[in-house]
Amino acid sequence: MKVLVVDDEKDVEMLFRMQFRREIASGEINLLFAFSGEEALTILHDHGKTDVVLVLSDINMPGMTGLELMERIKAEPPPLPVCMMTAYDNEEYRERASALGCAGYVSKPVDFTALKTRICELAG
Ligand SMILES: [Mg+2]
């Protein structure tokens, strides 16, 4: 199964690769990375949405925000679970995110144990 991580901070890729090293090594999870909303849409278009169990996106990014990205993803079938990730937790973001059908809200720094549990739930 694939998880697409979208964040304009490049360090996030190394952090996720380290935290998921066992799952990556065993082939259980294939992590895909995008550094902007635009790039995320291109990746989903090129790879197809099959096997993608979760899109985990930062909210604050130059260009398309995570919320805008979620709106674009939700507008096209098949529906993909999208979780928002942010260090700037606020009520307005949470409300907008849940109105758009957000599958979860992840605060930074990321609790990877909780995230792995969520991924397993989404994968069924
Ligand atoms: Mg950011």
28 Cα–ligand 1 center, Å: 27
Residue numbers of the domain that contains 59? 2-123
Distance 12 CA to ligand 1 centre (A): 10
Which tens digit of pLDDT belongs to each residue from 37-94? 999 999 999 988 889 999 999 999 999 999 999 999 999 988 899 999 998 878 998 9
| Ligand 1 centroid, distance to 4 Cα (angstroms) | 15
User: Which letter does DSSP use for residue 7 in this model?
Assistant: -
Rounded-to-5 percentages of helix, strand, coil across the chain: 45, 20, 35
Cα 15 from chain centroid (whole Å): 14
pLDDT computed for residue 123 by the predictor:
86
CATH number, residue 26: 3.40.50.2300
Q: What distance in angstroms lies between residue 20's CA and the mean position of ligand 1's atoms?
A: 21
**What is the distance in A from the centroid of ligand 1 to the CA of 61?**
4
Residue 62's pLDDT is what? 97
Number of structural domains, the chain?
Answer: 1
For 89-118, how does the pLDDT look when each residue is reduced to its tens digit (9 = 90+)?
789 989 999 999 999 999 999 999 999 999
